[in-house]
Amino acid sequence: MALLIMHSYNKSHSSPPRGGNPFQNLEKTSVLQEARTFNETPVNAKKCIHILTKILYLLNQGEVLGTREATECFFAMTKLFQSKDTVLRRMVYLGIKELSTIAEDVIIVTSSLTKDMTGREDFYRAPAIRALCSITDPTMLQAVERYMKQCIVDRNSAVSSAALVSSLHLSSQHGAGDVVKRWANEAQEALNSDNIMVQYHALGLLNHIRRNDRLAVGKLVTKLIGQNMKSPYAVCHLIRIGSKIIEEDYANGTNTISDTQFLEFVDSCLRHKSEMVIYEAAHAIVNLKRTSARELAPAVSILQLFCGSSKATLRFAAVRTMNKVAIMYPAAVAAFNMDLEGLIADSNRSVATLAITTLLKTGTESSVERLMKQIATFVAEISDEFKVVVVQAIRTLCTKFPRKHSILMNFLSAMLREEGGLDYKTSIVDTIITIIEENLDAKESGLSHLCEFIEDCEHTSLAVRILHLLGKEGPFSKHPSKYIRFVYNRVILENATVRAAAVSALAQFGASCPDLLQNVTVLLSRCQMDIDDEVRDRATYYLAILNSNNPSLCKNYISSNDQMVSLTLLEKTLKDHLHGPLNETFNLALVPKTAPTPAIAEETHNDPMITTNSVPKAPRVTREEVNVERLLQIPGIQRLGPLHKSSPAVQLTESETEYTVSVIKHCFPQHIVLQFDCVNTLSDQLLENVKVDLLLPEGYIIRHVIPCAKLVYGEKESTYVILEFPADVSSSSATFGATLKFVVKDCDPTTGLPDSEEGYDDEYMLEDFEITVADQIQKTKVNNFAVAWDAADTEEWVELEETYSLSAVNTLQEAVQTIIKFLNLGPANATEKVAEGTHTHTLLCSGVFRGGAEVLLRAKLVLADGVTMQLTVRSTDQDVAEIVSSAIG
Amino acid sequence: MVFGKMFMKILNKDRRNKQISILIIGLNNSGKSTIINYFKNKDDRKFVSVPTIGFNVEHFENQGISFTAFDYSGQGRYRNLWEHHFKTCNGIVFVIDSSDRMRLVVVKDELELLLQHRDIKRRRVPILFFANKMDCIDALSSVKIAAGLNLEKIDNKPWQICSSNALTGEGLQNGVQWLTAQIRECQQTKELPHE
Ligand SMILES: Nc1nc2c(ncn2[C@@H]2O[C@H](COP(=O)(O)OP(=O)(O)O)[C@@H](O)[C@H]2O)c(=O)[nH]1
Ligand SMILES: [Mg+2]
């Protein structure tokens, strides 16, 4: 694109510009006015190229076009297809791509683009494919399918690559995935290409198509490992796919022969002739959770070697990789220290930052001050992204050297005062909060720093979080009164969201500090005059409770907020309740708790996809929240009560069979809904009245079966079975036999229409599946496990204790993983990670059983010959305690 | 100097008259793409015809004039998109499948919409109707189609209807000759002061 702009630029100006950007003062309306030139015949190519450049420039500067403006501009642009100027045509493709998401009726250029992508002009073909995919929606995909398949296997590598990458983009569009799947044969052919990019892109697409079919991906990798692929890019990608499988197997506690094969392959790549591949292999090895010290050593030596490279990219890659695993392998990184010290003053600031922060993570207490000083000299020069790296290092340091908190806290608060984006500020605040939570001595100073920060904080989300924290921690500090002023200032100065949060925080002080109650009541009554409804409502609500003089009301409705329920599900449950007979009181305990958000991930794990790297952050929704929407379509489902938990999908067929079926188990208080997702992979068959016949274990009762009326080739449809759990909780964990039953009608593969109305009954054996204890438990996250554990030492709780010897596992980490997996409990206090080289470990975790019984679990593990475990379960229900403790045995 | 400038201008004007942009519309399957294909050079012709999605731009030469034709898809979903090219075309070719009696009412509706469109209503733009597929046994005659579509009501635009067979080319050349002549005339009248 830069080239094209240059080109048009030179053509349209005879003299060079006298400095500056010729597009600097462009104005949207006048440029759009100029775009009317596109309607003139004959087309003035030179002029139009220049105008298109301006439009693209504006769009790339973030200028926003309205639907009408964009549509008008788009249709004017379509007239330019009459010109035979090649540069103009390629600019038009770019224009189409930019406007495709804003303008209406963009499919109008479909035929024009398919003509170009299959035509004689090679210049047009690849960019036309990319433009075509940007305007194609799933309903139109059938029409271009033939061309796409042809282009994927085209001899011209640019065309083939463009088609492969575009298919990949298309397949992530909702509803297009199934069509793109049908192009797997072509992608397979492209995989044999001599061109390194085509090979890479073909692998990317194939893997993406099969990504939900683990067996198929495994087969693909095994096959390619033996083939010695020419493209280093493809080999790198293969390493990533292989690593992902190894990692998943490890997390599931399975270890297959192919894992060993993949590992050998990754290891052999350390001796590859391409640096890129060598790095990728080393990176994979140090990141794999199952890597042993013996496997680690050669990978670390490679990285060490790269640290001394003259290429900044290699130094950067190596030190960045070490930085991420420094905590896991302190000993391995320690061997690196000399090399890292050498990089502290690297002319590349990013390399220097990473080197210093790695040293910080692994170094001794005495080196902290020296290194922090070093960072301070250039922290202003590095980008936000690297500042975040620094902040993360500080966080680890604080945990490791609690005594250093004042130096570190000062450093953080200085950073907080500097300019910076939301992500950066969030990471600082997160860190300060972590420090406060972990280190009592740091609490007062941390809170003061945060108070100061919210006096001048432009980010609503951060202000709200800090206010919440002040409300939680402030009342129990040495001088609660000093925080009131900061909080009340927010009520006067900020927007409604922040004001509402401040009101809630004030109420906390009122509920927990009797001395301050009087003051707080006065302040809250002022808030009742607020112009915002929410602020007024909260003030009124809290005042009413505070004025009631009833400590238990205050405790339950102001101070304690551990019981966070999922708001989406709460809303749904309340709605259901209102639609119901209303002869029972609403039971809050039946609403699922929010699934614990995973501890702040250090870094999202490498997703081996080739799509863009700036994936927009999706809002976090739990599996249950997604499923509720779907399940609501089942008539009568409300009667089952709120959804407690949905399991991940379990395959009930091998891959590449005639029909593929997987099951998702949706657990309700007394029932379980089995959702069978079926795909018919035979293009010459239409299936009707598809359902799953179950071989029931004792105690289970079938309440309802919802067949799938029609299963067309290639489409995923669902059939459901609703079961009632056995009255006796202990028999709820059981195995089911399953058979798929249906009526087959032979049909014409091209039209999908049945040859005749007559069909015949047929059935297909599925694999057995289980309903486990884990299916019936929803994880919870307990912030302070010790407190919860002690509180569970009352009459209402049952405790069971037993000792087991775990013969099938060899390490403590494996034991921990097995327990968490079998019970689906949420670990607390980071006890899911076993420190390296220890022989004892205590795992603490918690969850809620269907129906609302809470479960707390403590597992004391000892590693001698094999692992011995003392398991203590506390639950509010005897049966639940029993089934949980027997699930492991 | 003055003379030289004059001379240039005449040349330019002459060139412009040799470039004509036409719009080909009509219901789907009426034979639009086949008609264009007939006008193209023998080696540029396509042998398989697939339904058009949106539109295609085609170039061809006829009577020494170079034509740019916007061949639009006639499927319901795209018909509302024709209007985007109403403003800029020099002439319209409206293709009718004479054997498709069922959909003649649909043709009538679409024609009505075209004639009432703000970019066409007051413009003197020639319209050529091809009563195509005249070779089909149940084809209506051009006279019957003209009557059925009330063509005689069109009073502010030159129009003509020709029977045609796009597969053999019968009738097509006559039609295009008429259209070219009309476009020339319209352009000349436009250049007269105070039209
Ligand atoms: N018998 C006959 N068939 C025709 C004639 N013109 C076109 N066709 C056929 O009608 C079908 C549709 O033609 P096409 O040009 O794609 O129609 P469009 O949708 O208007 O572009 C094709 O199968 C042509 O071969 C004609 O004059 N006579
Ligand atoms: Mg057509």
3-class DSSP string for A359-406: HHHHCCCCHHHHHHHHHHHHHHHCCHHHHHHHHHHHHHHHHHCHHHHH
Please tell me the distance from the alpha carbon of residue A74 to that of residue A63, in angstroms, as a whole number. 16
pLDDT for residue A594 is more than 80: no
Q: What is the DSSP letter of A825?
A: P
* Residue B93, strand partner residues: B24, B128
Segments of chain B with pLDDT less than 50: 1-16, 193-195
Residue A402: asked if its preceding bond is cis (omega within 30°), the reply is no
pLDDT for residue A350 is more than 60: yes
Strands (E), chain B: 19-25, 55-62, 65-72, 91-97, 127-132, 159-163
Find the angle CA(A126)-CA(A128)-CA(A134) to the nearest 5 degrees.
110
From A161, A149, A151, A155, select the one nearest A201 (Cα to Cα).
A161
Task: Identify whether the C-beta of residue A91 lies closer than 8 Å to the C-beta of residue A5.
Answer: no
From A483, A466, A465, A485, select the one nearest A474 (Cα to Cα).
A483
Chain mean pLDDT for chain A: 84
| CA distances for A459 relative to A69, A153, A421, A466, angstroms | 33, 51, 9, 11
Task: Identify whether the C-beta of residue A565 lies closer than 8 Å to the C-beta of residue A593.
Answer: yes
pLDDT band for A527, please (50, 70, 90 cuts): very high
Q: Give pLDDT, residue A621.
A: 56
Note the ligand closest to the C-alpha atom of B49. Answer: 1
CB contact under 8 A, A75 and B84: yes
Find the mean pLDDT for residues A385-402: 81
pLDDT for residue A502 is more than 80: yes
B140: in domain: yes
What is chain B's alpha carbon radius of gyration, rounded to the nearest angstrom? 17
pLDDT for residue A167 is more than 90: yes
pLDDT for residue A6 is more than 60: no
Tens of pLDDT along A712-734?
888 888 899 999 999 988 889 89
Please tell me the distance from the alpha carbon of residue A582 to that of residue A737, in angstroms, as a whole number. 39
Residues with CB under 5 A from ligand 2 (ion): B 32-33, 52
Tens of pLDDT along A309-320?
999 999 999 999
pTM, 2 dp: 0.62
| Residue A202 host element (H or E) | helix A196-209
Q: Give pLDDT, residue A280.
A: 96
- Closest Cβ opposite residue B56 in set A40, A105, A115: A115
Burial A630-645, CB ≥16 within 10 A → b, else e: ebeebeebbebbbbbb
DSSP secondary structure, A629-680, as one string = HHHTTSTTGGGG-S--EEPPPEE-S-TTSSEEEEEEEEE-SSEEEEEEEEEE
Please tell me the distance from the alpha carbon of residue A798 to that of residue A784, in angstroms, as a whole number. 20
Bigger pLDDT: A253 vs A323: A323
* Residue A6, strand partner residues: none
B76: in domain: yes
Residue A240 phi/psi, 5-degree rounding, is -65, -45
Task: Identify whether the C-beta of residue B166 lies closer than 8 Å to the C-beta of residue B132.
Answer: yes
Q: Give pLDDT, residue B32.
A: 93
CA of B32 to the centre of ligand 2 (A): 5
Please tell me the distance from the alpha carbon of residue A541 to that of residue A522, in angstroms, as a whole number. 14
B144: in domain: yes
Tens of pLDDT along A50-91?
999 999 999 999 899 999 999 999 999 999 999 989 999 999
Mind telling me how many Å the CA of B67 is from chain A's nearest CA?
10
- Closest Cβ opposite residue A105 in set B21, B52, B81: B81
Please tell me the distance from the alpha carbon of residue B14 to that of residue B134, in angstroms, as a whole number. 37
* Residue A867, strand partner residues: A806, A863
Please tell me the distance from the alpha carbon of residue A442 to that of residue B21, in angstroms, as a whole number. 78
Find the mean pLDDT for residues A108-136: 92
pLDDT for residue A14 is more than 80: no
Tens of pLDDT along A419-469?
888 888 999 998 888 888 777 788 888 999 999 999 888 889 999 999 999
pLDDT for residue A416 is more than 70: yes
* Residue A257, strand partner residues: none
Q: Give pLDDT, residue A614.
A: 36
B168 has binding-site annotation: no
Task: Identify whether the C-beta of residue A94 lies closer than 8 Å to the C-beta of residue A109.
Answer: no
Which of B18, B25, B37, B57 is the best residue to mutate to test the A interface, defined by the most A CB atoms within 10 Å of its own CB? Answer: B57
B1: in domain: no
Structure tokens that stand for A598 in this block: 């995973």
| CA distances for A190 relative to A184, A185, A206, angstroms | 10, 9, 10
Cα four-point dihedral sign A111, A113, A114, A120: positive
Interface A-B: count of C-beta contacts within 8 A: 48
- Give the range of the structural domain holding residue B147, as residue numbers without chain letter: 19-188
Alpha helices in A746-836 (DSSP H): 785-791, 812-823
Q: Give pLDDT, residue B17.
A: 52
Count of alpha carbons within 13 angstroms of residue A63, beta-carbon side: 21
Tens of pLDDT along A737-758?
999 999 998 888 777 778 878 8
B76 has binding-site annotation: no
Mind telling me how many Å the CA of B143 is from chain A's nearest CA?
34
B54 has binding-site annotation: no
B8: in domain: no
Q: Give pLDDT, residue A231.
A: 95
Q: Give pLDDT, residue A592.
A: 61
pLDDT for residue A848 is more than 50: yes
Residue B134 phi/psi, 5-degree rounding, is -65, -20
Q: Which of A356-365, A370-379, A762-771, A788-797 has the highest mean pLDDT?
A: A762-771
Closest chain A residue to the Cα of B75, Cα to Cα: A108
Bigger pLDDT: B7 vs A21: A21
| CA distances for A596 relative to A439, A570, A707, A825, angstroms | 23, 16, 35, 10
Tens of pLDDT along A662-680?
999 999 999 999 999 998 8
Bigger pLDDT: A242 vs A602: A242
Bigger pLDDT: A640 vs B94: B94
B193: in domain: no
- Closest Cβ opposite residue A111 in set B55, B84, B87: B55
Mind telling me how many Å the CA of B25 is from chain A's nearest CA?
14
Note the ligand closest to the C-alpha atom of B29. Answer: 1
B116 has catalytic annotation: no
Long-range contacts of A519-525 (CB under 8 A, 24+ apart): A519/A481, A519/A484, A520/A484, A520/A546, A521/A546, A521/A547, A523/A484, A523/A488, A523/A491
What does the CA dihedral A211, A216, A218, A221 come to, rounded to 10 degrees? Answer: -90
pLDDT for residue A608 is more than 50: no
Whether A583 has its CB under 8 Å from any CB of chain B: the answer is: no
Q: Candidates B25, B30, B32, B34: which one to mutate for ligand 1, based on the most atoms within 8 Å of Cβ?
A: B34
From A820, A775, A821, select the one nearest A647 (Cα to Cα).
A775
- CATH code at position B121: 3.40.50.300
Please tell me the distance from the alpha carbon of residue A41 to that of residue A79, in angstroms, as a whole number. 9
CA of B58 to the centre of ligand 1 (A): 17
Structure tokens that stand for A570 in this block: 């709460």
Q: Give pLDDT, residue A505.
A: 93
Task: Identify whether the C-beta of residue A716 lies closer than 8 Å to the C-beta of residue A865.
Answer: no
Q: Give pLDDT, residue A590.
A: 65
Long-range contacts of B59-65 (CB under 8 A, 24+ apart): B59/A82, B59/A84, B60/B36, B62/B173, B62/B176, B62/B180, B63/B176, B63/B177, B63/B180, B64/B18, B65/B17, B65/B18, B65/B19, B65/B20, B65/B180
Structure tokens that stand for A859 in this block: 């597992």
3-state helix, strand, coil split of chain B in percent (to 5) is: 40, 20, 40
Q: What is the DSSP letter of A593?
A: B
Long-range contacts of B46-52 (CB under 8 A, 24+ apart): B51/B75, B52/A111
Q: Give pLDDT, residue B10.
A: 42
Give Cβ neighbours of residue A16 (< 8 Å, ≥ 6 apart): none
pLDDT over 90, % of chain A: 37
| Residue B186 host element (H or E) | helix B172-191
Please tell me the distance from the alpha carbon of residue B184 to that of residue A95, in angstroms, as a whole number. 34
Whether A42 has its CB under 8 Å from any CB of chain B: the answer is: yes
3-state helix, strand, coil split of chain A in percent (to 5) is: 55, 15, 30
Catalytic annotation, pick one of B19, B63, B75, B187? B75
Instruction: Lowest mean pLDDT of A205-209, A819-823, B111-115, name the range.
Output: A819-823
Structure tokens that stand for A29 in this block: 């309306």
CB contact under 8 A, B54 and A111: yes
CA of B62 to the centre of ligand 1 (A): 21
Domains held by chain B: number: 1
Atom of ligand 1 nearest to the CA of B26: 20
Residues framing ligand 1 (Cβ under 6 A): B 26, 28-34, 49, 51-52, 74, 132-133, 135-136, 165-167
Please tell me the distance from the alpha carbon of residue A869 to that of residue A805, in angstroms, as a whole number. 6
Q: Give pLDDT, residue A415.
A: 85
- Closest Cβ opposite residue B53 in set A41, A42, A111: A111
